[in-house]
Amino acid sequence: MNRNDIQKAIESGKTVLGIEFGSTRIKAVLIDEDHAPIASGSHEWENRYDNGIWTYSLDDVWAGLQDSYQNLSSEVLEKYGAPLRTVGAIGFSGMMHGYMAFDKDGNLLVPFRTWRNTITGPASAELMDLFQFNIPQRWSIAHLHQAILNEESHINDISFLTTLAGYVHWRLTGQKVLGIGEASGVFPIDSTINDYDKGKLDLLDERLKTENVPWKLQDILPKVLVAGEAAGTLTAEGAKLLDPTGQLQAGIPLCPPEGDAGTGMVATNSVAERTGNVSAGTSVFAMIVLEKALSQVYPEIDMVTTPTGKPVAMVHSNNCTSDINAWVDLFRQFTDALGVEVSQSQLFELLYQQALVGDADGGGLMAYNYLSGEHITHLEEGRPLFVRTPESHFTLANFMRTHLFSSLGALKIGMDILFENEQVEIDQILGHGGFFKTKDVGQKIMAAAMDVPVSVMETAGEGGAWGIALLAAYMLHKAEGEPLETYLSNHVFAGENGTTVAPAEEDVAGFAAFMERYKAGLVIERTAVETLK
């Protein structure tokens, strides 16, 4: 679309808005009738570690949302000369899982407990035994059950339990709902009915009778919706919350709020069987749409769903690029001390490219990027470490290669369960997130780790905000009975350009050698957690 057409679409409300709450950035994306991004706005934020809890304050949530929306609105006015007063539809997404519990008056009972917390081990184990189904520590139900086991005083006052995306959607529409992909990180889903698993609800309600809680689970959980369903409209109060200037009009329809896993699948067109995607940024997770159920329960594999309810095997690692970012910042301090002007993006490009000229296995170096705990390797806390022997080949190239390898180490352990134990087959992996920002580097490292081709689309950088905008557009424009995968393939990704990198034999062997050291050296990380308090 040309500028004049886009301006008319903005003025007539034919655009669609998607906003995602990521771990380090809140991003807003406005798309046109061709599903192409035409404006964006963002707000940087960071979680806090308060009293042993990784959290964000509610003030941070609303200040960040309003700032990202205002930045987008200003860009729209600047680029197209039209104020943003309405859109065709809106979608909200957020980092999955976590725990937000509210009383009957809508007050948050305890600080938001994010996905990053690994404090629910006993509850996770008990629920896994009860359900014979993996319940990861970051899931909302694990946090709820752990709070019950801890006999926390707020339990009896809970009226509503939701996630970050669900909370924002609720405040803007009044609707207590979740998209099914996001809901699958709250409580196990039965994909035959696209709702919470009723048998497991009954099992836990029966177990909770001994705790004398005054509610049943079904009464406090959000309603489950699938992609394409209507999820309420923007209220007058919600419009003012999103846009305090008062320009944005009420009455705009919203799609079901989704998690970043689901929006990542949509943004990479990975919602059909035999497709998979890896989202790699602060955390890293792989989503593989299954052709058949897994043969057994694995603590390392989460069973979630696509935004339409199809079963998905999810391998989630809490830590990915945070430690690399810290090292890059150290190099930036060095260049600053030298008085050399190098932009942050140039520095990342330079250092990431170095990884491609290192030894295939990283030269015998070892790093653990555990800023926080890592459930796949059974560590409740993290201590970032860099280790080498006197014989290691200690070069900048090997240093960077090792840190990029390490960012995928825990993920690789989980993926090997799918590939080796379950013989899961996929045709390729679609990558998105900051890990893939530097041309070729992230793709080559990921291809070495997964031993499958890794593709990155030109739109991959748009990420989950674009993904939730596409889900809102699907709700608005889909034909009667048109499946999500058909809509995406025919209307969004037809003719989409991208690059594919096949795994190089030498790199695959090098990563395998690195992983042998990685697994053997986990005892060092455990010792660091125990001794460095």
- pLDDT at residue number 459: 65
Is there a contact between 499 and 454 (Cβ–Cβ < 8 Å)?
no
pLDDT of residue 279 exceeding 90, the answer is no
Does the structure show a pLDDT above 70 at 462?
Answer: no
Question: Measured between alpha carbons, how far is 39 from 465 in angstroms, rounded to an integer?
Answer: 12
User: What does the pLDDT look like over 427-461, one tens digit per residue?
Assistant: 778 888 889 989 899 999 999 999 999 998 876 55
DSSP collapsed to 3 states, 23-63: CCEEEEEEECCCCCEEEEEEEECCCEEECCEEECCHHHHHH
Residue-level pLDDT at 80: 96
Six token digits for residue 36: 């192409």
Q: Is 451 helix (H, G, I), strand (E, B) or coil?
A: coil
Report phi then psi at 54, rounded to 5. Answer: -80, 125
What is the Cα–Cα distance from 337 to 351, expressed in whole angstroms?
Answer: 18
Lowest mean pLDDT among 216-225, 273-282, 360-369, 391-400: 273-282
Enter the DSSP assignment of 321. S
Q: Shortest CA distance to 41 belongs to which of 233, 243, 182, 240?
A: 243
Q: What is the mean pLDDT of residues 275-296?
A: 88
Predicted pLDDT at 299: 87
**Per-residue confidence band for 214, with pLDDT thresholds at 50, 70 and 90:** very high
Average pLDDT over residues 107-131: 95
Residue tagged 């050399």 (tokens): 340
Amino acid at position 272, single letter: A
Is the confidence at residue 39, as pLDDT, over 80?
yes
Q: Are 58 and 445 in contact (CB under 8 A)?
A: no
pLDDT at 59: 97
Of the chain, the percentage scoring pLDDT greater than 70 comes to 99
* pLDDT of residue 533 exceeding 90: no
The 10s digit of each residue's pLDDT in 4-19 is 999 999 999 999 999 9
- 519 vs 409: CA distance, rounded Å: 9
424 pLDDT more than 70: yes
The answer to whether 418 and 289 have CB atoms below 8 angstroms apart is: no
Query: Is the full-model pTM beyond 0.85?
Result: no
pLDDT at 374 over 80: yes
pLDDT tens by residue, 501-518: 999 999 999 999 999 999
Range of lowest pLDDT (62-71, 169-178, 302-311)? 302-311
Average pLDDT along the chain: 94
Query: Which residues sit opposite 530 in a β-bridge?
Result: none
Q: What is the mean pLDDT of residues 204-223?
A: 94
Pairing assessment for the beta strands 366-368 and 385-387 based on DSSP bridges = antiparallel
Give the residue among 113, 106, 104 at the shortest CA–CA distance from 157: 104
Q: Nearest to residue 181, comparing CAs of 255, 119, 128, 127?
A: 255
Tokens of 360: 């295939």
